Structure 1
Amino acid sequence: MYRRIGAPLCALALVTSGSVLAAPSVSAAPHTPTNACNEAGFDPSAGARTDGDSTLTGNIDIRYPWPQIVPVTVPDPPQNQTRIPQAPLPADPCADPCPDLTDTAPKQPDAGSSGSASSGSESSGPSSSGSSFGSSLGSNGSSVPHFSIGPDPEPIPIPIPGPAQPLPPPPAPQSPPVEPAPTSAAPVPAAVESTSLVAQLTGPGSINRTDKRWQVDGTDLGITWESKPGEVTIVFGDTFGKGWAPPGANGSDWRSNVVGHSTDHDLSDGLTIDSMVQDSRCHAAEVLGSRKIKNWETTTIPTSGFALGDRQYMSYMSVRRWSVVPGMWYTNYGGIAYSDDGGSTWTKDPYARWENIFGLNNFQVASMVPAGDHVYLFGTPNGRLGTVAVARVAKDQVLNRTAYQYWVDGQWTPVGEKHPTPVLHDTAAELSVRYDEARGLWQMSYLDTVAGSIVLRQSTSPQGTWTDGVTLARSADYPKMYGGFIHPWSTERDLYFTMSEWDSYNVYLMHTTLNRDGSVVRR
């Protein structure tokens, strides 16, 4: 999950981006996804701007800070690694595997009351609201906002000693050499013929019925990588279960991340999730734990993944807190976790971390890609307004920070972490990088926050030269979109990517048709 407050930053860019958004090859028509069970999903194009629409609607939630002392045990307690195998899904795809857990019981009338309130004890999400009051101001039927005001707890974390947790020995220090790495000639830019929404992948009304099968009602991201031949792992960000309701991230049963697997090769009708890692019956597990304490560690969000042999790696960011500026956040560090059991349990490596000293480290939101003898680390600072830098490491040293080389002024150097040379100067958010080995082609998609678009660039080397960005999706069509993570089984002609939408807070599979005629300049 990449934002917590108000409209996405890309939506705000609409007022300043002008004709940049007017890409004729991309269009979206109003469309409410409906699955095979005739369950309606959410339309990600809802709320697209129309000329002359000045209606003032929605809620205005006014918060005031309320200091709150919060003791925090240090170090982090061990994560609960309880896992149970998933029972086979029902033969009837419209049957609920766990109706006792996911189906809503008929509401019982409560004499003398027109509503009810939940009093569950589960952890509330990062956008859970405090006490509020207010009422609609339009008694004559006019559409006006609902005002509310309430406290916004502002935790003051106080570390206290907890049980000691033994650490593994650190990896042996490395001294990689300085090596030349000039930029390469740019390939012909991709040409987009069309982009369309294929299917809603998560939440109520989705093709995977994740709310009924794994108690994934609201979630985002949908980062994919090939975990083994014929299988793709898909990881989602902050996830909410029964009781979640749009808009945005909110509610109970909050998990910072969940993982699924797919063997679906035909993406033309959507991406089928075969299974998810579970910690109890019909309940997707949080695989990377987080403290869920604002101003300490609010959440841990996946940013990319890849596999080397039987081991899977996942990059992630430890988010300290969300900013009051929409689309911005502050991290503690960017890190790497690994799994040796098919993605069931994960270990956060205590040494493979890029600490966010003074909030300036360029490798907080990362996309990691193996190619040749190396794994390449593309990174941006925390938030959505940073430039892209790149580093690399030998495949057998992924968890050893001292073995990384950073691209600085045309060289791979081991001392460039603090001042890497940007490989492109545009602001980029939610990087997704793919290497097409057959064509010797690198592809990078990201949210261009200034243009309000998810764009695609291509290069014949990781350090560039990268082509100009071409638009895959626009916030003019999907007002509160973000993400844009490329599916590893995309082809030269058919690019599939996942897109998140804030109000519906779920994930969609998108399809872009690319022009075949562009040639590629090889290194």
Structure 2
Amino acid sequence: MSGVSFRPLAMTAVAVVAVLGLAGCSSAGSNASEQNVDLNAQAELTVPNVESASMIVPPAPPVPALPVKNAANEQNAGDGPGEGAPQAPGGPDLYPEPALGSVGEPEQRGNGQPITKGGVTNAFVAKLTGSQSVDHTDTKWGVAGTGNAVSWANGNGQVITAFGDTFGRPRPKGESSDQPPLVSGAGLNLPVFPKGVPFPALPYVNLVQGGQQGSGFAGDTGTQAPTGFDWRNNTLAYSSGKDLRNFSFDSFLTGSNSKEAREILGSKRVNGVEITTLPTSGVSIGGRQYMTYASIQRYGPAPGSWTSNYAGIAVSEDNGATWRKSKNAYWSNSGAGRNFQMPALAKYGDTIYMYGTAQGRVGGVYVAKVKASKILDRSSYSYWTNSGWVRGLKAAPAPIVSGGVGEVSVQYNSSLRQWLMISTDVFHNGIVLRQANNPMGPWTDARVIASGKNYPSIYGANIHPSSTGNDLFFTMSQWSSYNVYLMHTTVTRQGVPGPRPGSPAIPLPGGQGLPAGPAPDLPAPTFDLRLPDSMGGGTPNPKAPNKPS
């Protein structure tokens, strides 16, 4: 292990967190507490080989295999898997009747809560999916586990909520993230990396947890796709109530079996080609519904990372009952298009702003705009380049936010006269809020509105469109429970910030990195970024789709 080499990556305006494994820890705790210690000079800090029997912290146990449906009973929406491809986890399609307080009485409102480390905070409002959710979605609609909810107003008094991978039975006992546990240091928590794990495993180093020991920080979603029974790539629900403190779904979109929420947008369901199709945002224009989605090739290989094929827009003429993937409105995961693999739409007047991030949860946030009437015309989009809006992707778009950012959601708040952006932020270990006077910024520093210290493994926050005034309601997913929760925060209008200092691009192993642009706002303490040369990236799959078929 002493022969492992490291390469320093300089920053001019900021320093980024250190990524190092821990092999000999008897003296690491005292050294790690120093603010300006040269981690690269510490001989006891090396990248461990997890294949070695002397490994201090073992990797997480493997997830047990799940039963699958027979091919004759498999009913996949969209394109079916190819010959010899792994099948989606399956199981029975029978659901128990809802529990009744007594004969004829409706089921009582559920009081389920997220998994917590530091206790339930006053930000928590309600559990929206799974067992003991407010509507008992597991028994009513076969939604026992799901994540990554995105909501938008349909223009006719309803709110549509689309979910990612959905299951009709709870996940196997003990299944959560497969991220290796963290080991305690005085002021540092350092992960034990499996051999060859590439960036972006970087964000899961936490420098502000003190001497705490544990795992499951914000954005910790493992390296495997979620699993369970009765897998659907995505599902969709409707709601009409305006009292978000007493939120309830009116219904889920169901198939012939009225008790089971059905899939709305198919995929090939082949890991390494296209494992799922993930909704990322939506808007209503002229009575039609437009939903952005990401075609996911695979999850991993690092915790909280994934590889996307492309992102696109699907349109529905019947309030979400059926969807058609546009053959023109898509952004392949190459060139400048790689910055819009998790798109988020925000409507302002007759303009649609599309915010984008790359695959994973580290990098920049970018923005494009288009007239609402041209939303499916990719050639009509203009991209922000710092010097102005430029039509098409010939000029490289400029990031408007940089850091450990993923799954953004943006909305203009007319009461505050501010643009609000929330996102997963792995550097800040939580869901964070930023504000701006203009859609392209400059944006304020991140403020944590839901912390991984309280709620481990949170990710995928989305602003609820019925939020008004200073009350911001948002949905939040939790990987460890694999369900969706409604949260609340009070927003105070912040002043217009000055432009952030510039930072050069910081290339990182695995093809990721922080882009040149506004310096990321990082929690203290921070250290120089030093990465082991052994952390390499994966290779693309030429059989994976790069556009809608």
- Give the shorter-chain TM-score range: 0.5 to 0.7
Corresponding position: 1:275 with 2:251: yes
The equivalences for 1:18-37 within 5 A come to none
Corresponding position: 1:217 with 2:144: yes
Q: Does the 8 Å contact 1:203/1:210 carry over to 2?
A: yes
Question: Which SS does the other structure have where 1:489 is aligned?
Answer: coil
Q: How far apart are residue 437 of structure 1 and its match?
A: 3.6
Structure 1 equivalent of residue 123 of structure 2: 196
Corresponding position: 1:353 with 2:354: no
Q: How far apart are residue 426 of structure 1 and its match?
A: 2.2
Structure 2 equivalent of residue 457 of structure 1: 434
Structure 1 equivalent of residue 342 of structure 2: 365
Structure 2 equivalent of residue 236 of structure 1: 163
Q: How far apart are residue 382 of structure 1 and its match?
A: 0.9
Question: Which SS does the other structure have where 2:145 is aligned?
Answer: coil
Indicate which of 407, 420, 424 corresponds to 1:447: 424
2: CA distance, partners of 1:205 / 1:435: 33
The equivalences for 1:278-317 within 5 A come to 278-280=254-256, 281-317=258-294
2: CA distance, partners of 1:413 / 1:497: 32
2: CA distance, partners of 1:284 / 1:322: 24
Structure 2 equivalent of residue 395 of structure 1: 372
2: CA distance, partners of 1:433 / 1:457: 9
2: CA distance, partners of 1:385 / 1:208: 35
Q: Does the 8 Å contact 2:79/2:266 carry over to 1?
A: no
Supply the AA of the counterpart residue of 2:287.
D
Cα deviation digits, residues 473-512 of structure 1 (max 9, x gap): 1111111111211111112321111111111100111111
2: CA distance, partners of 1:359 / 1:297: 21
Structure 2 equivalent of residue 266 of structure 1: 243
1: CA distance, partners of 2:433 / 2:463: 10
Indicate which of 64, 68, 93 corresponds to 2:106: 93
Indicate which of 404, 409, 430 corresponds to 2:381: 404
Moved over 4 A (4+): 15-18, 55-59, 76-79, 517-521
1: CA distance, partners of 2:399 / 2:495: 26
Q: How far apart are residue 244 of structure 1 and its match?
A: 3.7
Q: Does the 8 Å contact 2:415/2:470 carry over to 1?
A: no
Distance 1:62 1:445, change over 3 A: closer
Indicate which of 424, 427, 432 corresponds to 2:404: 427
Cα deviation digits, residues 388-416 of structure 1 (max 9, x gap): 00001111110010110000122111133
Cα deviation digits, residues 365-385 of structure 1 (max 9, x gap): 010111122100100011111
Q: Does the 8 Å contact 2:416/2:470 carry over to 1?
A: no
Distance 1:333 1:449, change over 3 A: same
Q: Does the 8 Å contact 1:443/1:457 carry over to 2?
A: yes
Q: Does the 8 Å contact 1:195/1:513 carry over to 2?
A: no
What TM-score results when the alignment is normalised by the length of structure 1?
0.63
Supply the AA of the counterpart residue of 2:339.
N
Question: Which SS does the other structure have where 1:433 is aligned?
Answer: strand
Corresponding position: 1:475 with 2:488: no
Distance 1:451 1:518, change over 3 A: closer
Corresponding position: 1:250 with 2:263: no
Question: Which SS does the other structure have where 2:62 is aligned?
Answer: strand
Distance 1:418 1:379, change over 3 A: farther
1: CA distance, partners of 2:399 / 2:377: 23
Distance 1:257 1:201, change over 3 A: same
2: CA distance, partners of 1:397 / 1:360: 18
Supply the AA of the counterpart residue of 1:445.
I
2: CA distance, partners of 1:245 / 1:61: 12
Structure 1 equivalent of residue 487 of structure 2: 510
Distance 1:417 1:252, change over 3 A: farther
2: CA distance, partners of 1:469 / 1:95: 38
1: CA distance, partners of 2:230 / 2:106: 24
Distance 1:425 1:95, change over 3 A: closer
Question: Which SS does the other structure have where 1:362 is aligned?
Answer: helix
Question: Which SS does the other structure have where 1:390 is aligned?
Answer: strand
Q: Does the 8 Å contact 1:434/1:443 carry over to 2?
A: yes
Question: Which SS does the other structure have where 2:249 is aligned?
Answer: coil
Supply the AA of the counterpart residue of 2:161.
I
Distance 1:358 1:416, change over 3 A: closer
Q: How far apart are residue 295 of structure 1 and its match?
A: 1.3
Q: Does the 8 Å contact 1:361/1:418 carry over to 2?
A: no
Question: Which SS does the other structure have where 2:297 is aligned?
Answer: strand
The equivalences for 1:62-211 within 5 A come to 77=79, 92-94=105-107, 195-211=122-138
Corresponding position: 1:61 with 2:62: yes
Q: Does the 8 Å contact 2:464/2:475 carry over to 1?
A: yes
The answer for unaligned runs of 5 or more in structure 1 is 1-9, 19-54, 64-75, 80-88, 97-193
1: CA distance, partners of 2:285 / 2:417: 19
1: CA distance, partners of 2:411 / 2:142: 30
Q: Does the 8 Å contact 1:196/1:510 carry over to 2?
A: yes
Q: How far apart are residue 208 of structure 1 and its match?
A: 1.1
What TM-score results when the alignment is normalised by the length of structure 2?
0.60
Indicate which of 496, 500, 506 corresponds to 2:477: 500
Q: Does the 8 Å contact 2:336/2:397 carry over to 1?
A: no
2: CA distance, partners of 1:375 / 1:253: 36
Question: Which SS does the other structure have where 2:139 is aligned?
Answer: helix
Distance 1:373 1:360, change over 3 A: closer
> Higher strand fraction: Structure 1 or Structure 2?
1
Structure 1 equivalent of residue 311 of structure 2: 334
Cα RMSD after superposing both structures: 3.2
The answer for unaligned runs of 5 or more in structure 2 is 1-16, 23-28, 34-55, 65-77, 82-97, 110-120, 177-225, 498-549
Count of aligned pairs: 355
2: CA distance, partners of 1:220 / 1:510: 14
Distance 1:261 1:486, change over 3 A: same
